[in-house]
Amino acid sequence: MANKDQLFLEACFYIKMGVLVDVEDASSMADSVCIGDFRDLGWSKRVATRDSLYYEWNGPNPIRVSGCIINPGESTEETEMDWSWYEKFNCNNFNYVNWNS
């Protein structure tokens, strides 16, 4: 099975060639290419609102995300999010713990 880097490079190649490539809608999946993986190229942008999360697609050609074709300049469907865990965990004030000491 191909590793994630290889899958990503192949997806970039095929997208540039105009091939409709299937990608996942969840970011940072270890075994497949996700729309969020294209952020470093400027092809996708993660948009988090108070109640939802979605991606804008700005790649050179359309892609298919979870069965829906997303053209350049369009966005994925909004997914409702519950960010309360983040507020409870208080990530902004998280103290580093060295678990190896």
Q: What is the DSSP string of 24-83?
A: BSSTT-TTS-BGGGGGGGTSEEEEE-SSEEEEEE-SSS-EEETTEEE-TT-BPPPEE--T
Q: 63 in a domain, yes or no?
A: yes
Q: 101 in a domain, yes or no?
A: no
pLDDT tens, the chain, 101 aa long: 578 899 999 999 999 999 999 999 875 567 889 999 999 999 999 998 888 889 999 999 999 998 999 999 999 988 877 767 666 655 555 554 445 54
Range of the domain at 31: 4-91
Q: 96 in a domain, yes or no?
A: no
Number of separate domains in the chain = 1
pTM for this structure? 0.75
